[in-house]
Structure 1
């Protein structure tokens, strides 16, 4: 039986994580005006790193990696909502694909 390639999930997770890191850096730059935004930006950067780790984990264990991607997408969306929407959508789709695909 042929094993399913997980390249799509890997790429979506990586690109989503990169966009999340960029959104987090943007939020930290806005944090000059308010310290709470700085904390949320750092949280978004951590969520994005967690998502990148999840996308690499998809290659070894797709279910666990997919759950990690979904959790990090939600974490990113809660942290910096509008700035992180692109990264959250990409990581969420990659996570859903990893969990659903056989």
Structure 2
């Protein structure tokens, strides 16, 4: 599975790469080169980040599932308990 960005996100990412080069590097980077660099990152590095995000999401969901019993547990057969208290006579 390749990681794709929507066109607007790709455009913003390329602009961000260009801005990074303008700010931090001795030479600016052109639009085509920035797009190629983005393509490299998406193919080479993004899968590792994506996979870690999946692991983090699974861990978070698993922790929530474990807590479901605690958070949502209802004690059964409580109806008669309210009548089990001794009644006071007048």
Pairwise same-fold verdict (TM > 0.5): no
Q: Who wins on radius of gyration, i.e. which is larger?
A: 2
